[in-house]
């Protein structure tokens, strides 16, 4: 049995469900997921940068919750955290996983959609471009709370993609582990005929390697 540890923001209501859904769908009985919650004091919508830094600062103590388990791999379920984090070479992050996934399927001109403010969003996409991903378009929605994020992913994501897609885009990436997309993946790929990559999909594939 391979035990996978996930450090997940306490405010995240999506990633755990989506990762378990993939595990059950793939019938991988030799893998077990274990989740520990990253803590924060500053609400995301008040100060996104401070919220993210507080998540990172809570990584060491959160890891202690999983010490009793002999973990095969450990991942941090916060896409933007990687741009602030230091000395975390033994942890997997969704942003690196997305970059690796794109390279694995030979796609390099994605449409990028994030819920972040422009400051964080631009650093995320610059990190991707520094890694050889030539972003065709990027949209940073500046969503301030999880309720608005869930409502957007349920009602407006397909419309947004339809309005932005063009012949230069070879893939679609939605970057945020709290952005619910698993229920839309098939529809997006069939309608727009390009691969769809989410933070949760990419980190799931990364931990299976």
- Is residue 207 situated within a structural domain? no
- Is residue 149 situated within a structural domain? yes
Owning domain of residue 162: 95-199
- 165 plus 105 within the same structural domain: yes
Of the residues 58, 93, 128, the one at which a domain ends? 93
- Is residue 206 situated within a structural domain? no
- 110 plus 157 within the same structural domain: yes
- 105 plus 58 within the same structural domain: no
- 119 plus 147 within the same structural domain: yes
- 108 plus 194 within the same structural domain: yes
Of the residues 93, 114, 144, the one at which a domain ends? 93
Of the residues 93, 124, 154, the one at which a domain ends? 93
**Nearest of 75, 39, 80 to residue 57 by alpha carbon:** 39
- 88 plus 100 within the same structural domain: no
Give the pLDDT score at 155: 79
CB 39 within 8 A of CB 64: no
CB 97 within 8 A of CB 166: no
CATH code, domain with 84: 3.40.50.12500
- CA distance linking residue 43 with residue 73, whole number of Å: 29
Give the pLDDT score at 86: 82
- 7 plus 66 within the same structural domain: yes
- Is residue 72 situated within a structural domain? yes
- 160 plus 109 within the same structural domain: yes
- 81 plus 39 within the same structural domain: yes
Give the pLDDT score at 139: 96
Helix axes 199-208, 15-25, angle to 10 degrees: 50
Helix (H, G, I), strand (E, B) or coil at 66: coil
Number of domains in the chain: 2
pLDDT tens across the length of the chain (209 residues): 899 999 999 999 999 999 999 999 999 889 999 999 999 999 888 899 999 999 999 999 999 999 999 999 999 999 999 998 887 778 999 999 999 999 999 999 999 999 999 999 999 999 999 999 999 999 999 998 878 887 887 779 999 999 999 999 999 999 999 999 999 999 999 999 999 999 999 999 999 88
CB 184 within 8 A of CB 157: yes
Give the pLDDT score at 126: 95
- 84 plus 143 within the same structural domain: no
- 132 plus 166 within the same structural domain: yes
- Is residue 209 situated within a structural domain? no
**Model-wide pTM > 0.85:** yes
- 112 plus 60 within the same structural domain: no
CB 175 within 8 A of CB 199: yes
Residue 137, CA distances (Å) to 13, 27, 110, 152 in order: 28, 36, 7, 19
């Amino acid at each position: 049995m391979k035990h996978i540890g996930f450090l997940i923001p306490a405010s995240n209501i999506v990633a755990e469900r989506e990762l378990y859904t993939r595990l059950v769908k793939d019938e991988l009985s030799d893998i077990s997921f274990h989740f520990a919650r990253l803590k924060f004091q500053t609400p995301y919508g008040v100060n996104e940068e401070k919220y993210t830094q507080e998540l990172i600062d809570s990584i060491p103590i959160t890891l202690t919750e999983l010490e009793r388990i002999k973990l095969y791999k450990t991942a941090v379920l916060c896409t933007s955290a990687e741009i602030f984090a230091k000395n975390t070479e033994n942890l997997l992050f969704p942003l690196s996983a997305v970059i690796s996934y794109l390279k694995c399927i030979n796609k390099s001109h994605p449409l990028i959609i994030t819920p972040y403010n422009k400051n964080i969003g631009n650093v995320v996409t610059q990190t991707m471009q520094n890694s050889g991903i030539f972003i065709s378009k990027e949209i940073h929605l500046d969503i301030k709370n999880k309720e608005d994020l869930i409502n957007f992913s349920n009602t407006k994501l397909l419309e947004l993609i339809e309005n932005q897609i063009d012949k230069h885009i070879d893939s679609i990436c939605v970057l945020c582990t709290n952005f619910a997309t698993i229920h839309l993946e098939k529809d997006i790929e069939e309608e727009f005929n390009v691969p769809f990559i989410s933070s949760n999909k990419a980190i799931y594939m990364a931990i299976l390697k």
